[in-house]
Amino acid sequence: MENLRLLFDAPILTVQLLLDGILIGAIFALAAYGMMLVWGVLNIINVAQGELVMLGGYVAFFLFKAGINPLFGVPVAAALLFVVGWLLYRVVIFRIVDKDLFISILATFGLSILIQQLAKVAFSPDVRTPQAGFGTISMFGGAVTVTWIKIISFAAALTTGGVLVWFLRGTRMGQAIRATAQNARAARVMGIDTDRVYAWTFGVNAAICGASGALVAMTYLVDPYIGLPYTIRSFMIVIVAGLGNISAVLATAIGLGAAENISAFLFGAEYQIAFVYGLLVVILISRRIVLARQRRYLA
Amino acid sequence: MTPILEVTRVRKTFGGVVANRDVSLSVPEGKIYGLIGPNGSGKTTLFSSIVGTHPIDSGSIKFRGEEVSRLRVPQIARLGLLRTFQQTRIYGKMTCVQNLLISVPPAALSWRSMLARPSAAETKKAEDLLQFVGLHAKRHLRAGDLSFGQQKLLELAMALMSEPRMLLLDEPTAGINPTLINDLIDRLRRINAELGITLLVIEHNMRVVMGLAQYIYCLAHGELLAEGEPAAVKSDKRVIEAYLGAH
Amino acid sequence: MKRSILRAAVLAFLIAFPALLPAWRTQMSYLVIMIVFSLTWDLLGGQMGYNSFGNVLFFGIGMYVCAVVQRDAHFSYPATLALGIAAGAAAAVAVAAILGSGILGLRGHYFAIGTLGLGIAAGELAAGWDFVGGGGGMVPPQYPGALGGRETFFYYLAAALAVATFFTLRWLYGGRFGLAVNAIRDDEDKAEAMGLWTTRYKTAAWCVSAFFLGIGGAIVGNVSGFIDPRETAFAGSTYGVWMVLMAILGGKGTLWGPVLGAVIFHITKELFWTYLLDWQQVALGFLIVVIVIFFPVGILGWAREKWPEKFGHRVEEAKPAEASG
Ligand SMILES: Nc1ncnc2c1ncn2[C@@H]1O[C@H](COP(=O)(O)OP(=O)(O)OP(=O)(O)O)[C@@H](O)[C@H]1O
Ligand SMILES: [Mg+2]
């Protein structure tokens, strides 16, 4: 554990790790918020969430390949993925909305495999790294360096989140989505076309996943297999933050980003994914113990 | 004699709704007590609080002298305090006999018994209980295919199979054919007298509850409105008003 | 009566297989392992209503532990193999018990997602651990017997495992264990309200699954002759997905359904897989979506709904004469 000692000996390193974690955390928050939206409104846990992120990443990559700055991938991916999400709803998801959990989880699990493997066939399994081509900035006399793209991504993630909040609060469809989340039957009685609301919700979810995927691709990389960890991260963030609380989602996501970065430094980056899963198991178990003590269930 | 169940100043809120406001009641061992009140007065909520379905905000619930308000559902059930559900809950894809066979007393569910087959005695008891509630002819049908009223009877039989000390029955006569209600009252009395199970019964049918219960608590708007012998409660002005006012 | 003839025929076929079709022994070994996969998945997924996406974890643990014992214990080949299989099974059960008592206290979807990454995480860990060969994998020791004896030997082991799994589960389903896991599937809240130790049953079920999967892993490591952390041992994207698909295809919650599903899936896969090339996994995902949405009861579940009497389900009331008895 010499890396652990390094953390204490060089606090500046900790600052670097935390900073990177915070910057990526905002991107996690987007996908997590989407999962929360779908969970709350459609009562489905979308296992294919991460695959939507992955598709967004490829949008950024193909723009980059076409000579366009992948930063434009953020709005483009959001728009394209909205269509993808809407179609997914119309073809698959609407059939499982009112089915039991077993079916919805297995069906979205099948979807995640389907999308992942289609991406592998269509885009090849290679790792892609679209470059937005901004420089880096140094702080503390070069001890801490941050690439501009991370800062831009952070800002873009917050902006996307802002647009989302505005959409949910300020538009008619957004209000219908929130009403349906509270009580679908009451919403139906009040004349809300819940089927349309569901389609929109899934579309909007896909759109924010797409945006976050484009950001991920620029700051890190994209390949067909990056999806599942994002699904797990989103799930983890939602259950820690609790349904319906956007600022808690952001805070948890940032915490997760920082924890992942530090663990990657301590144990090695190759164990980062294992760390994410391990953390999930730990969170689930400790939540169970806490809830049991309060006479409540996690269900 | 200390009461088998003692509920003291229990409060339960859902968001802004106060479902139970400082409700206190106590049931002595071996009796049949009634719990009445207009729709939405918090009767089912109180049952759920007692058996541990949700946390209560404040107050105390004692079963046989032991504080149970922080225990969880299965722990309370194993102490011998069971409830039936207003909206019946049975194992829908299993047959009626199977429903009973898995409802044996928790004490019979040791680690080792996991591998055991149901004994002849248990099977006999299951069949007898199905006979008792009048479902014997349907014993091999899937429980989910039974009518609502039959499911209520099955659920009652399941509870009896488990040999509880006390049973909380949530509207046992709902969905039961009126001509069979007298039978059911009779059975409930026998459960109490022969098996020695203390009963607390939620009931909307006044005739049933007045005939069955020895003592009655009445809830309204989450608060305890009145209590007393059936005759006294029946003529209590506040109770009559609560019922009339609710409609 | 008819059933016992069927069973005897299946057994005779399994025993005679290496003599009948010697070229297909390895194929057949994989087929019977598929049966173990789908039966053990169905114990949770079908009988108990708990989706597990991580069962392949136990398979990989069994495989690795057995291979390590075979590598490091210096007894005769059969002795180390037996020790390895036992250790593999024990390790798998231990992990199931530890993990299970934690995450099986959770309800359905939390459990499902909680298991989602288990196999993959284990694969990553194994790939980074030099003691078990890291990403380069491991090679189990050479089978000492005659050339070709290896295939027959491990085929019989695998077949015996499948038969043992089948009969153990049949026996378990017939007793209180079966009643309890079915009750948990039908209404877990009710089961808790009746005082059932649900977490205990759930964990036990997972341990039974893990036991047979651990042994299966130990055998497959030797059948394949090479252990890759992600492709053979913790093969979430192949074995891990197949087990779900096979059980649902055949009919979850039935005893013969997973067997049927495994046989149909494996044969179809072997016949058409090679033609699909890159599209294999795409087809898999597609199949899962389609089956789950349009055919969730599976083949046997469908047959059972169509001809309930043939499957021991009565739809009529018992006759009065019988009722009085
Ligand atoms: N889970 C819950 N969440 C929110 N409110 C609830 C919940 N359960 C009950 N309530 C509210 O608490 C109040 C009491 O409900 P409860 O079901 O206890 O009434 P009840 O006396 O059993 O009525 P009924 O005779 O119709 O069965 C009602 O206003 C109900 O809407
Ligand atoms: Mg009620």
Interface chains of chain B (3 or more CB pairs under 8 Å): A, C
CA of A167: how far to CAs of A1, A108, A163, in Å? 47, 26, 6
Asked whether residue C175 is assigned to any structural domain, the reply reads yes
Please state, in angstroms and rounded to a whole number, the distance separating the CA atoms of residues A212 and A231.
Answer: 13
Please state, in angstroms and rounded to a whole number, the distance separating the CA atoms of residues A197 and A203.
Answer: 10
Q: What is the DSSP string of C74-124?
A: -S-HHHHHHHHHHHHHHHHHHHHHHHHHHHTTS-HHHHHHHHHTHHHHHHH
Which chain B residue lies closest to C180 (C-alpha atoms)? B102
Residue A245 confidence (pLDDT): 75
Residues of chain C with pLDDT under 70: 1, 311-325
Helix (H, G, I), strand (E, B) or coil at B146: coil
Asked whether residue C295 is assigned to any structural domain, the reply reads no
Residue C225 confidence (pLDDT): 86
Q: Which residues of B touch A244 (CB under 8 A)?
A: none
Please state, in angstroms and rounded to a whole number, the distance separating the CA atoms of residues B19 and B54.
Answer: 12
Please state, in angstroms and rounded to a whole number, the distance separating the CA atoms of residues B47 and B37.
Answer: 13
Q: Which pair of tokens denotes residue C79?
A: 């002795």
Give the domains, in start order, of chain A with CATH numbers: 2-298 (1.10.3470)
B42 touches chain A (CB under 8 A): no
Q: Which amino acid is at B160?
A: L
Cβ–Cβ < 8 Å for C249, C298: yes
Asked whether residue C278 is assigned to any structural domain, the reply reads no
Instruction: Assess whether the C-beta atom of B44 lies below 6 angstroms from ligand 1.
Output: yes
Instruction: Assess whether the C-beta atom of B86 lies below 6 angstroms from ligand 1.
Output: yes
Q: Which residues of B touch C314 (CB under 8 A)?
A: 95, 140-141
- Name every residue whose Cβ is closer than 8 Å to that of residue C274 and which is 6 or more positions away in sequence: none
Residue ID of nearest Cα to ligand 1 atom 6? B14
Helix (H, G, I), strand (E, B) or coil at B38: coil
Asked whether residue C296 is assigned to any structural domain, the reply reads no
Cβ–Cβ < 8 Å for A241, A249: yes
Span B84-113, pLDDT tens digits: 998 999 999 999 999 999 998 887 777 777
Interface chains of chain A (3 or more CB pairs under 8 Å): B, C
Contact residues, B window 62-91, toward A, CB-based 8 Å cutoff:
70-72
B50 touches chain A (CB under 8 A): no
C43 touches chain B (CB under 8 A): no
Considering every ligand atom, which ligand is closest to the CA of B35? Answer: 1
Q: How far is the CA of A229 from the centre of ligand 2 (A)?
A: 44
Look up the ipTM and state it. Answer: 0.90
CA of C108: how far to CAs of A233, A282, A296, B238, C112, in Å? 19, 17, 15, 46, 6
Contact residues, A window 106-135, toward C, CB-based 8 Å cutoff:
106-107, 109-118, 120-121
Asked whether residue C47 is assigned to any structural domain, the reply reads yes
Cβ–Cβ < 8 Å for C180, C200: no
Instruction: Assess whether the C-beta atom of B42 lies below 6 angstroms from ligand 1.
Output: yes
Tell me the count of A-B CB pairs closer than 8 A: 10
Span B174-222, pLDDT tens digits: 888 888 888 889 999 999 998 999 999 999 888 888 889 999 999 988 8
- What are the start and end residues of each CATH 3.40.50.300 domain in chain B? 3-80+164-244
Asked whether residue C156 is assigned to any structural domain, the reply reads yes
Pocket test for ligand 1, best of B21, B25, B45 (most atoms within 8 A of CB): B45
Q: What is the DSSP string of A103-172?
A: HHHHHHHHHHHHHHHHHHHHH-S--B-------EEEEGGGTEEEEHHHHHHHHHHHHHHHHHHHHHHHSH
Residue C199 confidence (pLDDT): 87
| Number of domains into which chain C is organized | 1
- Domain residues for C217? 29-234+252-258
Topology of domain B3-80+164-244 in CATH is Rossmann fold (3.40.50)
**How far does Cα B84 stand from its chain's mean position?**
5
Q: What is the pTM of this model?
A: 0.89
Number of Cβ atoms within 10 Å of the Cβ of A267: 15
Q: Which pair of tokens denotes residue C155?
A: 């085929």
Q: Which pair of tokens denotes residue B140?
A: 């091999």
Asked whether residue C21 is assigned to any structural domain, the reply reads no
Predicted confidence (pLDDT) at residue B241 exceeds the cutoff of 90:
no
Element (H, E) at B217: strand B215-220
Please state, in angstroms and rounded to a whole number, the distance separating the CA atoms of residues C313 and B141.
Answer: 7
DSSP B118: P
* Max CA pair span of chain B: 58
| Contact state of B106 with C185 under an 8 Å Cβ cutoff | no
Cβ–Cβ < 8 Å for C301, C254: yes
End-to-end CA distance of chain B: 39
Q: What residues are paired with A147 via a beta bridge?
A: A136
Sort A146 into a burial class: Cβ within 10 Å, 0-12 / 13-18 / 19+: middle
Residues of chain A with pLDDT under 70: 1-2, 6-10, 244, 294-299
DSSP C309: G
State the virtual CA torsion across C107, C108, C110, C115 in degrees, nearest 10. Answer: 120
Residue C122 confidence (pLDDT): 87
Q: Which residues of C touch A114 (CB under 8 A)?
A: 282, 285-286, 288-289
User: B83: pLDDT confidence band, cut at 50, 70 and 90?
Assistant: very high
State the best of C44, C286, C293 to mutate against chain A, taking most chain A CBs within 10 Å: C293
Give 3-state DSSP helix, strand, coil % of chain A, rounded to 5. 80, 5, 20
